[in-house]
């Protein structure tokens, strides 16, 4: 597997569980405003919970 296959080397900033949670909350807020969005993520128990 390449060093960038898990998409963690594109930025010095981390995108961990806290950031995943904030992204999920933001997408839910946008949905209540009628905004349509598409998110792609890994298929894990945690991301399904979000």
Which pLDDT belongs to residue 8? 67
pLDDT, residue 11, reads 73
Please report the pLDDT score of residue 5 as a whole number.
Answer: 67
Domain boundaries, the chain: 17-49
Q: Tell me the per-residue pLDDT of 1-50, one tens digit each, with 9 for 90 and over.
A: 677 666 666 777 878 889 889 999 999 999 999 999 998 888 889 889 98
SS (H, E, C) 1-50: CCCCCCCCCCCCCCCCHHHHHHHHHHHHHHHHCCCCCCCCCCCCHHHHHC
Q: What is the pLDDT of residue 23?
A: 92
pLDDT score, position 4: 67
Give the per-residue pLDDT at 37: 92
């Amino acid at each position: 597997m390449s060093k960038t296959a898990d998409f963690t080397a594109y930025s010095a900033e981390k995108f961990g569980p806290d950031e995943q949670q904030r992204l999920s909350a933001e997408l839910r807020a946008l949905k209540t405003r009628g905004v349509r969005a598409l998110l792609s993520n890994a298929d894990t128990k945690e991301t399904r919970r979000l």
